[in-house]
Chain A
Amino acid sequence: MNDERVRNEIADNAVIVGPVVQAGTFSGEIHHHAAPRQPLDLLTLRLWVERLAAGHQKDRKPLDQVRAAVADPATADAVRRLVIAGVVAYLARPGAPPDKPVPEEILTDLVVFALWPLVTAGKLPRNWEGELAQLTSPRLAVLVQRARAQRMPAEEFTRTLAGKSFTPAITALFDDLADPRRGGALLTALALAGGLKAPPTGRRAGRKVAVWALVIAGGVTLAHALRQHDSRAARLVGEVLVDLATDAHDPLDLTDAALDLVDWLFS
């Protein structure tokens, strides 16, 4: 492909010889446009790694490791990676957020997006059910197991999920995402890659991570909803945040959570 030389004629009679095709007129300035923040698809990644491996016969061990990781999805932490990728995909979703997001469904949406990559994944590690149960709860793991077996459509999966309380599951998930030794490092990496602000990390920072995710997902509307203590959103979010406030010296008031949200919004 590199041998193919294209002759381009430009308006001011300048000639560029090479594999570049220039269309339109040349103003004399070169603009560098940043590529959109999209991850490489797996096929392209594999091709690139193969090409690199072919060009580097020496010190192939690191390359072979990358090739093995790309070729086989059944590697360590695959379940956690898929779940975090789902969370980040939800938070960094393209396009402007809706003007009036429905606060009650923010948590449901977050859980659906987190679990959907596992429902649709073609191949998962052998003990993925156990890992997912550890990450969330046994009931959610069974639900995903059933959704995979029945090839459940996304709407039905969301409906099934929304009909149940998943507070313990999401509490466990945020605890994992906050811990740098577990999902924290991966969440930070993927969030930064997805163009998001770095999430807070720390062994007891599950509540802060929850607030971080909810602020990105819900924005101002959620903050307003949380100020009204009687609303269903306040109750649902409150359940999760209260469960996450495990430190006895750090009792949680819902007003604190609302203030946290507002701080995040204006900082």
Chain B
Amino acid sequence: MDFSLDLLLATGKLAPKVISIGSFGIYLTTLGNPRSLRESRVTLDGLKSWPPTALFRWRRQKPRDGYEVTAYNRKTDEDDTLFPVFHLAKYCPTYLMWPKNGQRTRNAMLRTARITLAVKVFFFFAFFLGSFAALAWLTFTQNWRWTVALVVLTVHQLVFLHSNTYFKWLRWPRLLLICAATWLYLQGGWYETAAICGLGAVLTLMILNVWQMTTSSRFRYQRMREHGYGVLDPKHERGKPW
């Protein structure tokens, strides 16, 4: 084991590259995830279900911003306002494309929804399929150890597909872990393989832990409580004596 200062400096140079390229790659791949595409399609269909006279307005409200809709209610013969009708994923660049000021007609919203869907389709081909194709190509043409990255990415994308939740996974302990793995990799020899495989295994376990957490009833109930939907929707509590 080499504990020299030069190796530590080399680690300081290489680790940020690994972290930034890896994170950015995972982020880009997530943008094109089929789940993201499906959410766009659901938003488009949801907008189509409103009458053409409905008006949409962006409302900033805790715990989560969203769109409210003002539409005519035939039963009460009044204009009803509902909030929220849908949210936007902030991690996605298409968030910036949605209008945030003033009232918008359904037609204007549909136009934006179609454009964002087209952008997501582009992300799917360019980033999602592109990332897997690039890693597969690197595995077969460069080094078999790229398989580890392929496995980590596959697990991460499966988790996102299932949970539709993008986690900020770059926390300090994980960054330190990547730095340690980089230092080990720079030792050379069989340490390279050990560092790559070890880091890949730990990251996979962490991602699986996230998967387990998002599917747990405790997590889902907490989300329902915060966002007021599902069985914890305040509307369901009306008329109950407790």
Contacts and interface: CB of A to CB of B under 8 A. Distances in A.
B79 A129 contact: no
Contacts of B79: 137-139, 168
Interface string A119-161: 0000000110111111001110110010000000000000000
Contact of A127 (B55, B72, B78, B105): B105
A142 B72 contact: yes
Interface in B27-81: 51-55, 70-72, 77-79
Contacts of A137: 70, 79
A56 interface: no
Given A134-B103, A134-B105, A142-B72, A129 B77 contact: no
B71 A138 contact: yes
A134 to B, nearest CB: 6
B106 interface: yes
B107 interface: yes
B53 A133 contact: yes
Contacts, number: 48
Contact of B53 (A130, A164, A168): A130
Interface size class of A (residues with CB under 8 A): 10 to 19
Interface residues of B, number: 17
Contacts of A141: 53, 72
A72 to B, nearest CB: 18
A175 to B, nearest CB: 11
A160 to B, nearest CB: 11
Given A138-B71, A164-B77, A133 B54 contact: yes
- Which secondary structure dominates chain A's binding surface? helix
A167 to B, nearest CB: 11
Nearest to A142: B72
B52 A134 contact: no
A133 to B, nearest CB: 4
Contact of B52 (A129, A139, A164): A129
B231 interface: no
Contacts of A131: 105
Contacts of B77: 139, 164
B108 interface: yes
Contacts of B105: 127, 130-131, 133-134
Contact of A145 (B53, B55, B106, B107): B53
Given A138-B53, A139-B78, A130 B72 contact: no
Contacts of A168: 79
Q: Top 7 A-B pairs ranked by shortest CB distance?
A: A130-B105, A127-B107, A141-B53, A129-B52, A133-B53, A138-B53, A138-B72
Given A126-B107, A130-B105, 16 more contacts: A127-B52, A127-B105, A127-B106, A129-B52, A130-B107, A131-B105, A133-B54, A133-B55, A133-B105, A134-B103, A138-B51, A138-B53, A139-B77, A141-B53, A142-B53, A142-B72
Interface of B: 51-55, 70-72, 77-79, 103-108
22 contacts: A126-B107, A127-B105, A129-B51, A129-B53, A130-B55, A130-B105, A131-B105, A133-B53, A134-B55, A134-B104, A137-B79, A138-B54, A138-B55, A138-B70, A138-B72, A138-B79, A139-B72, A139-B77, A141-B72, A142-B53, A145-B53, A168-B79
